């Protein structure tokens, strides 16, 4: 494990030994906090961030102010937080893109592992493998068979080159040896529309989109890229159950702070996040957006984050020139 992960595990272990009730600095926070989001206002992730920030404001007694800094695959927001003073007043509401960018960009102005401490995963939802209803396949086995029989004839849609939607399909192709033609769209909404009108035959879309369009009979779900079955699509197997071992792809959101933030401030923020997530009305708002509340601790989130970085770096490396 890299140095940043060991540091996180080290001080969190101390918390466990001395108990979470240890007194923290009474003067933190004594002013408003800044929560930087790597995506524009509107949409499910933005809503989840704002709901959590509102709850944290009440718990901390100081405003948690949202700052949307979209662009460059989330790198603008990440760079801003990485350069911020490590005093607990600037946080990043990072998502899956933060685990992907090290593999996609040769040069970054920040190091996702060294410069950040993962505090807690807030929410997640899986990607779902869907096909247009006109495609004559009813399950993953039939899709693989068709793809192997007619190499390159299948088209798949993504939300753009280097997005999780594309990497999820690249992982699928690597595990099944199926050749497909990539049709990148400019965002998740255009990708979903392209699938629904038949411009592309298959693709990975997030659960909220899949759930709505499968129920409307505009898309057919073949499998869920989650470790376990999902209540949102109870009749749909996981990719692992469908015969594609080790395939999972999640869209997740979580809190990150600069790596050298004092442990006392880290503890205060972590406790506020957990209390915010576990409130019943917070859970209801998350689920209304199609997301599952998580609330992992720093050790769990650090391990997950580092594993995600390695996983998708391996996919990009193995796919090679297949990534546009």
Residue 118's contacts (CB-CB under 8 Å, 6 or more residues apart) are 8, 254, 255, 256, 298, 301, 302, 304, 305
Among 248, 268, 284, the domain boundary falls at: 248
Distance (Å, whole) CA 254 – CA 124: 9
For residue 229, being part of any structural domain is answered with: yes
Among 217, 233, 248, the domain boundary falls at: 248
Containing structural domain, residue 172: 126-248
Q: What is the pLDDT of residue 319?
A: 84
Q: Which tokens is 177 given?
A: 């040896």
User: 80, 94, 113, 153: which is closest to 9 by C-alpha?
Assistant: 113
Among 248, 270, 302, the domain boundary falls at: 248
Q: Given a cut of 70, is residue 15 above it in pLDDT?
A: no
Residues 146 and 102 occupy one common structural domain: no
Q: What is the pLDDT of residue 323?
A: 53
Distance (Å, whole) CA 180 – CA 190: 19
Higher-confidence residue: 3 or 94?
94
Q: Which tokens is 11 given?
A: 């001080």
For residue 152, being part of any structural domain is answered with: yes
Distance (Å, whole) CA 129 – CA 126: 10
- Answer whether 116's CB lies under 8 Å from 258's CB: yes
Residues 31 and 115 occupy one common structural domain: yes
**DSSP E strands, the chain:** 33-37, 64-68, 90-95, 116-131, 154-158, 180-184, 202-206, 220-224, 250-258, 292-293
Q: Given a cut of 70, is residue 22 above it in pLDDT?
A: no
Please list the alpha-helical segments (H only) found in 1-43.
3-18
pLDDT digits (tens, 9 = 90+) for 269-308: 999 999 999 999 999 999 888 889 999 999 999 999 999 9
pLDDT digits (tens, 9 = 90+) for 175-215: 999 999 999 999 889 999 999 999 999 999 999 999 999 99
Mean pLDDT of the chain: 90
- Answer whether 29's CB lies under 8 Å from 59's CB: no
Higher-confidence residue: 254 or 41?
254
* SS3 of residue 34 by DSSP: strand
Q: What is the pLDDT of residue 290?
A: 84
Residues 233 and 130 occupy one common structural domain: yes
Q: What is the pLDDT of residue 83?
A: 96
For residue 324, being part of any structural domain is answered with: no
Residues 131 and 19 occupy one common structural domain: no
When divided into structural domains, the chain yields a total of 2
Residues 181 and 75 occupy one common structural domain: no
């Amino acid at each position: 494990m890299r140095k940043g992960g060991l540091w996180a595990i080290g001080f969190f272990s101390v918390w466990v030994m001395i108990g979470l009730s240890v007194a923290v600095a009474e003067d933190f926070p004594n002013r408003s906090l800044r929560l930087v989001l790597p995506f524009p206002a509107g949409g499910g992730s933005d809503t989840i961030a704002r709901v959590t920030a509102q709850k944290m404001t009440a718990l901390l007694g100081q405003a948690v102010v949202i700052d949307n800094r979209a662009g460059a695959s989330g790198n603008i927001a990440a760079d801003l937080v990485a350069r911020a003073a490590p005093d607990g007043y600037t946080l990043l509401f990072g998502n899956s893109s933060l685990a992907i960018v090290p593999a996609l960009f040769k040069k970054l102005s920040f190091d996702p592992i060294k410069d950040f401490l993962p505090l807690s995963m807030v929410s997640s939802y899986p990607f779902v493998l869907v096909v247009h209803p006109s495609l004559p396949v009813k399950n993953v086995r039939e899709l693989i068979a068709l793809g192997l029989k007619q190499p390159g004839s299948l088209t798949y849609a993504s939300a753009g080159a280097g997005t999780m939607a594309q990497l999820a399909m690249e992982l699928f192709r690597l595990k099944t040896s199926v050749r497909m033609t990539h049709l990148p769209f400019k965002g998740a909404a255009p990708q979903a529309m392209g699938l629904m009108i038949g411009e592309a035959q298959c693709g990975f879309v997030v659960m909220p989109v899949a759930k709505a369009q499968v129920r409307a009979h505009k898309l057919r779900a073949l499998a869920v890229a989650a470790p376990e079955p999902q209540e949102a699509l109870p009749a749909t197997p996981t990719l692992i159950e469908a015969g594609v071992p080790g395939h999972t792809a999640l869209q997740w959101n979580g809190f990150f702070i600069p790596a050298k933030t004092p442990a006392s401030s880290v503890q205060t923020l972590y406790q506020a996040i957990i209390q915010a997530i576990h409130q019943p009305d917070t859970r209801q708002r998350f689920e209304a957006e199609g997301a599952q509340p998580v609330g992992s601790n720093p050790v769990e989130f650090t391990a997950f984050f580092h594993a995600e970085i390695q996983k998708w770096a391996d996919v990009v490396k193995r796919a090679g020139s297949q990534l546009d």
